[in-house]
Every structure is written in C-alpha cells, then in structure tokens.
Structure 1
Amino acid sequence: MSSGGGDRDQPDTEAEWDDEPLADDTAAEVDPDAAAAARRARLRRGRAPRRESRVTIAWRSPLVRIGVAAGFVLLVALGLVAYFTPVLAVRTVRVDGLVAVPEQQVLDALQMPEGRSMLRLDTNQLAERVSRLPKVRSARVQRVFPSSVRVTVVERSAVLYFESPDGTHLLDCDSVEFAIEPPGPGVPKLVTDHPGGDDPVTRAAVAVMAAIPVGLRDQVGVGAVVARSVSDIALELRDGRTVLWGGTVDSSRKAAVVGPLLSQPGKVFDVSSPNLVTVK
C-alpha cells in the first residue's frame, strides 16, 4: 500500500513537458518572405534620395553635347592649320655665342626650310647640323613662338697647338683638332713625337692642361708642354723654369702642391710624385 501510494505522489514528467510549446517550433513558424520584406523596407527608409549634379543634368542637354563636339573639331582644325600651313612659319633666326665662327656659316649649316611651320621643326637635327662645324663644340636650337628660332653656340677654344708641315694645328680641351691657323695669344705649344687628336700622349698633355691651376696655366702661356710619354709631361714656363708634372695620375694633389713649391727659388720643380716634391 505504501509503495503504491508513493507512485501516485510522483509527478508525470512526460505529460508536463508535452504541454509546453518548444521555442524552435515557434521560430520555425515565422514567415521568411515577411522577414525579407521587412528588411527591404528598413533599407528603403535609411537610404538617402539620390541627387544628380548640375554637370550631369547639363550634359544631358543636346545643345551642350553639340557645343563640346564643335569645340573639339575646332581645336583639331586649328592644330592642323598650324602644323601644315605657313601660319607659324619661321621668320627670324637669332644666333648667340659666336666669336670666331661667322653667323652666315651657322645659318648655312642650319638649312632652315622656308615656309615650314615651327611645329614641324626637328630642333635636334638642326643642332646636330650646326655642331658639325669644325669650330663649334656644341649647339642648341630652341623655338621662340610665334615665329623665331634661337641658336646657342659654344665654340671650341685652343688649349694647345702643334706644328705640322701643313700648318699650325689647334687642339681644344677634348683633344679635337678644330683648325689649322695661327694660335691666339697665350696658347702654349705642344712638343711631342706624334702629335694629334688620336695620339694618347697628346691626350694626356691636354688632360694635364685641364688639371693645372689657372695661375700656372697663364705662366705656361708662351712656353711649351713637352710630352715624352703619357707619364712624362713637363711644363716649360715663360720665365725659363720647368715643372716636371709626370702623368695624369694624382693631378688634383699635384695642383695643390705646385703653387707653394713655385714660391721657392730654383729652376726645376718636380711634382711628379706629389708626396715627395723636389726643387733643383
């Protein structure tokens, strides 16, 4: 009896759980179409109205489009006229930097085409033509609109000269023989066995002339540069003194010590080894 009464006092667990609705069953009853419609409505409420710019509105006008097209065609037409007709033809040529080269010689070298538009000029080709002149080291050609061309010339200048059966040859700082004529004042004579622009010893002598200080270069002016080899170059000064320079190696150091050395009495000043200079 007691055991049977105990059974009646226990709650019916399965019956109680069956009476409560499941959360998953409730979620499953939600209509997915309605949820998607609700999301779209929220997005529409948060979206700002789209406004078109004035440029976009104006571009839709047929008149604006026609005007832009007409302006483009006009620019192309003007460009073609300027390029192919004498509207921008060269009318004046200015040449700067001339000392020894006659201006007419430069104009003849240019071979400037008559009536050609400035836009069609090949300035590099024109400059190359002028640079072929023997006494011209470099040339630059520029357009100056509307109708002028400017030519800037850098002439060659002699740093040494040497005697030859056909005359006196002038050498510039690039070892280029650019003229056969008497040298200008202050140009020293080169004394070597085989003088010429392609001779290594000649090139070494020119390099030494470029390295020596300006004051010393002036003292060599009416003297001579004696080059026995690329490493045995001597400078005979106009007062009878001699500077044994050696080769082109350590020229900057030699240039620094030769000035104080020449302030001492003596006839032969040896800077061929700048760390051990001597005076005789």
Structure 2
Amino acid sequence: MSPAGRSPRPTARGGSRRTATHRGARSAAARAATRSRRTTDTTAAEPGGRAGRSARRSARRGGARSSAASRSGAGRARLPRLGLQVGSRQKMALTVAVVLVVVLGAVAWFSPLLSVRSVQVEGAQVLTAEEVTAALDVADGTPLLQVDLTEAAGRVAMLPRAARVTVDRHFPSDLRVLVEERVPVVYVDKADGPHLLDATGVDFAAAVPPPGVPRLVTERPGRSDPVTTAALTVITSLPAPVRAQVTLVNPGSAADVRFTLGADRVVVWGTPDNLGRKAQVLAAVLTQPGKVYDVSSPDLPTIS
C-alpha cells in the first residue's frame, strides 16, 4: 500500500513524552512528600529541634509547678499541725497556772502559817492598845485572808474616841490598826460632868477637858444643833494665837456667835461667814485697848 493510503498511527514518541511527563510529575511529588515527612520526622526526633525544646520547657514548667504545689501543700499540711501543737501547749500552761493559783489560794486561806499572831495599834493617844484590840475582835490564829477588814475597822470605829480607823494585813501574821482619835474643840457642862465635843459636834467623852479647851454654852449642844455648828465653825477658823486665848463660847444664835478672850475681852463675830476677812480684822483691832471687839461687819469694825 502506498504511503498515501496508510492511516496515520499515533506517534509513539508524542504519547510516550506525555506519559513520561505525567509520571515524572508524580515521582517528583512523591519525592517531595517523602522529603517533607523525613524533615518533619527528623525535626520531631532531633533533641535540639524546636518541638523538642518546647516539650522540654513545658516539662520543666510542669515539674516546677508540681514541685511548688507539693511544697505548698506540705507547708499547709505542717502549719495546722504546728498550730495544734502551740494551742495544746498554751492550754496546758493555762491549766497548770489555774491549778497553781487554786492551790496557793487554798494554802493562804487555810494555812496557819498565814494567820493572825499579833495586832499593831498606831495613832492612838488616849485609847489603849488593849481597848483597840478588844474592839477589833479578831481571834489569834485566824487566817489573815479570812479577816474582813471593813467589818474589823467598823468595830473599832464604834469606840467613841475613834474618828477614823483603817485595818491592814501585814503578811505573814500581823494586823495593823491605824486610829485617828477625835480632838476636843469645846466642852459642855452636863449633869454628870463636862463632856468633850470635837469639831463636828460629836460628844465623844465625859472627861475633864484638856488645858486650852473653851467652854461652850448653848441650850442644846450637839452635832444636830445649828447654834453648836455655827460656834464650832467660827472657833476652828481662828488663827492659833487667837484661838489659844478663847475661854468661853456663848452664841446667842447661829447668826450671833460670840466668844470671850481671856477673862473679859468679848468678841462679837456675828454670822459664820467671811471667816478669813473677819480673822484678819480681829487680829488688827486686838492690838487696841477695849472690852468688846465687834467684827460682825469686817469693813466697819468697832471697839468699845
């Protein structure tokens, strides 16, 4: 057959070229994928790789957190135990202290080693130690802590001459009684003889008045009498040199206090007020001769 009559055949070269090209592309892609997997595997497997380093850092941070948490947990576990131990010690110490206080208190309350063996009396001038001790009425051997000091002082204060009384314990075995006696300011004559009155008008003794104590003349002498109170207020306000000369106090009323100096000099004082001013004026006018010195109006004193 002539060449012109043959059917053309596909060119084997052109088809082979296309097939080879397609296969080459697949092979290249496969090789690239293999290289990529190897690179990824190698990178992941390498100790110095980024993933390795990140993993190690994460592991270190996790380990540090775990260690810190463990230490914190252990510390929290120890703290309650420590608190319990301290609390137990404090409770034990408090219990021991309470027991000691109770024991010592019982010993002091009942022990004969801390009991009354002597009574010391101080301040008494006229009252005797025997009178004070008898009024105190505390038996020898009484535990000091069982002595009611207020009641004991009250019993001694019942003595008429006692103005103030204080009772103290002196360990291990003494009671001290401090007595302030009443001081006579005036005396009054009564049916059974002279009676002594102190600055408050208390009639505390039927006795001979000491030297220098003036006589008070009034209808109802006593603490509740206004005339007596006014007279005593004036007498106790006088300067010592003038007061020492007073021999008689004979107020006509609470507003008309009079007293006599020596034998015959009379002072008209008036009301028991302006005490300091009247005392100054009286000291001045007493330097003048006279029988009656009226300072009831201290700005206009008179001498007659």
User: TM-score, normalising length from structure 2?
Assistant: 0.69
1:59 aligns with 2:86: yes
**Letter of the 2:86 counterpart:** W
Counterparts of 1:1-280 in structure 2, within 5 Å, are 59=86, 66=92, 69-220=95-246, 223-280=247-304
1:127 is aligned with what amino acid? A
Deviations 1:201-229 (A, max 9, x none): 11211111111111110111xx2111111
Query: Which structure's CA Rg is the greater one?
Result: 2
Give 5+ residue unaligned stretches, structure 1: 1-40
The 3-state SS of whatever aligns with 2:245 is helix
Cα pair distance change 1:207/1:67, threshold 3 Å: closer
Structure 2 distance, partners of 1:57, 1:239, is: 91
Name the CA distance, whole Å, in 2 between partners of 1:60 and 1:242.
84
**Which structure's relative contact order is higher, taking Cα pairs within 8 Å and 6+ residues apart?**
1
Shift of 1:69: 3.1
Structure 1 residues 75, 194: CA separation in 2 closer, same or farther (over 3 Å shift)? closer
Letter in 2 for 1:122: D
**Residue deviations 1:86-134, cap 9 Å, x none?**
2311111110011111111100000103322212221111111111101
**1:57/1:189 CA distance change after superposition, 3 Å:** same
CA distance in 1, matches of 2:280, 2:85: 75
CA contact (8 A) 2:113 2:172 kept: no
- Report the CA distance between 1:144 and its aligned residue: 1.1
In structure 2, the residue corresponding to 1:183 is in which secondary structure? coil
The share of aligned pairs that are identical, in percent, is 42
Unmatched segments (≥5 aa) in structure 2: 1-64
Shift of 1:161: 0.6
Verify the 8 A CA contact 1:85 1:116 in the aligned structure 2.
no
Higher mean C-alpha deviation, range 123-132 or range 81-90: 81-90
Amino acid at match of 1:197: R
2 CA distance for matches of 1:212 and 1:65? 68
How many corresponding residue pairs? 232
Q: 1:71: Cα distance to partner? A: 4.4
Contact 1:160–1:190, Cα closer than 8 Å, also in 2: yes
RMSD: 2.7
Please identify, of 205-214 and 154-163, the stretch whose mean Cα deviation from structure 2 is larger: 205-214
SS at match of 2:201: coil
The TM-score normalised by the length of structure 1 is 0.75
| Post-superposition offset of 1:59 | 2.8
Distance 2:221 2:105 in 1: 55
Go from structure 1 to structure 2 and tell me whether the alpha carbon gap of 1:57 and 1:230 turns closer, same or farther (over 3 Å shift): same
